[in-house]
Copies of this chain bind each other. A is one copy, B any other.
Amino acid sequence: MRDLSGGLEWLSLNWATVRERWDLRQAIEGCARHGIPGIAPWREPLQAMGIREAARLIRDRGLTVTGLCRAGMFPAADAAGRRAAIDEVRRAIDEAAAIEAQCLVVLAGGMPGGTKDLACARAQARDGIAAVLPHARAAGVPLAIEPLHPMYAADRCCISTLAQANELCAALDPAGEGGLGVAIDVYHVFWDPELAREIARAGAARRILAFHICDWLVPTRDLLLDRGMMGDGVIDIPRIRGLVEAAGYAGFVEVEIFSRDWWRRDPDEVLEVMAERYRALV
């Protein structure tokens, strides 16, 4: 397991962590100022800044793009909706390629409004990923399927476990040609009794494309916007990082915190705390 206490070499800022106060340009400059070498933009601020301009500034500041968030949301009530979702993911792949992102984070999506068929949503997500995979491979942008916590299964992501994501990868890329893998976020998976097994499985197939961290607060007051800073909650982050690295992952550690509390604070302070916690507690 790597010793991260000596510097920030493998730290990445997911833009969502500062999204209420900084646009993407400010986040890029903030990372450069704080010596944080990785950044993960979201599509909306990326488009707002201009993709070429963002790519230029990111390159100029020497940052690595650890991922582009996010695309997917495949299930839809009709075929036209499903086609539109697939087209949108193809555009996201092109954006990810333009900023040389290490991966595009893919969320499966939930059940279309008014429906109650999770199996159907899962089948549509699988078909959608299959449909965009050739484009991802051609663009050189691997798709990182991110299982989200089961509390989002209905409306955001019907892929709730790393086992599901691994099975999907195995089904869609049986020969291991690449272009498909998983993003592992401790917030979404820490509860999973099968976590160690599934991390090992993902690693053995060389499919761990991203590793995200934050913390689970007790109590959690909101299903979406109450994630914690590392160390403020109950997730044994070093244990999970150890599993991920034992499985062969040697990339960035990306901090993604959706939190009304942290969004209220000065982003420069957030980055300072984040860097401290990363060196001491991750």
A-side residues, CB < 8 A to B, are 111, 115-118, 122, 149-151, 153-155, 160-161, 163-164, 190-193, 216, 218-221, 223, 233-236
Q: How far apart sit A160 and B193, CA to CA, in the bound complex (Å)?
A: 8
Q: Are A150 and B192 in contact (CB under 8 A)?
A: yes
Q: Select one of B155, B163, B220, B234 contacting A219, CB under 8 A.
A: B155
Q: How far apart sit A164 and B194, CA to CA, in the bound complex (Å)?
A: 10
Q: Are B190 and A118 in contact (CB under 8 A)?
A: yes
Number of this chain's copies in the assembly equals 2
Q: Lowest 4 A-B CB distances belong to which pairs?
A: A153-B191, A116-B236, A150-B191, A151-B151
Q: How far apart sit A111 and B236, CA to CA, in the bound complex (Å)?
A: 12
A226 to chain B, nearest CB (A): 9
A235 to chain B, nearest CB (A): 7
Q: Please name all residues of chain B whose beta carbon is closer than 8 Å to the beta carbon of A219 when the two chains form the complex.
A: 155, 223
Q: Select one of B150, B154, B220, B233 contacting A223, CB under 8 A.
A: B220
A230 to chain B, nearest CB (A): 12
Which partner residue on chain B sits nearest A155 by CB separation?
B218
Which partner residue on chain B sits nearest A226 by CB separation?
B223
Q: Please name all residues of chain B whose beta carbon is closer than 8 Å to the beta carbon of A233 when the two chains form the complex.
A: 154
Q: Please name all residues of chain B whose beta carbon is closer than 8 Å to the beta carbon of A221 when the two chains form the complex.
A: 223
A191 with B160: in contact, given A151-B150, A151-B220 (CB under 8 Å)? Answer: yes
A189 to chain B, nearest CB (A): 9
Q: Are A117 and B236 in contact (CB under 8 A)?
A: yes
Which partner residue on chain B sits nearest A215 by CB separation?
B116
Q: Are A234 and B154 in contact (CB under 8 A)?
A: yes
Q: How far apart sit A115 and B190, CA to CA, in the bound complex (Å)?
A: 14
Q: Are A122 and B193 in contact (CB under 8 A)?
A: yes
Q: Please name all residues of chain B whose beta carbon is closer than 8 Å to the beta carbon of A234 when the two chains form the complex.
A: 111, 115-116, 154-155
Q: Select one of B111, B161, B193 contacting A164, CB under 8 A.
A: B193
Known: A115-B234, A150-B191, A160-B192. 17 other contacts (CB 8 A): A111-B234, A116-B234, A117-B236, A118-B190, A118-B191, A122-B193, A149-B150, A150-B192, A151-B151, A151-B220, A153-B190, A153-B191, A155-B219, A160-B193, A161-B193, A220-B223, A223-B223
A235 with B151: in contact, given A122-B193, A193-B164, A223-B223 (CB under 8 Å)? Answer: no
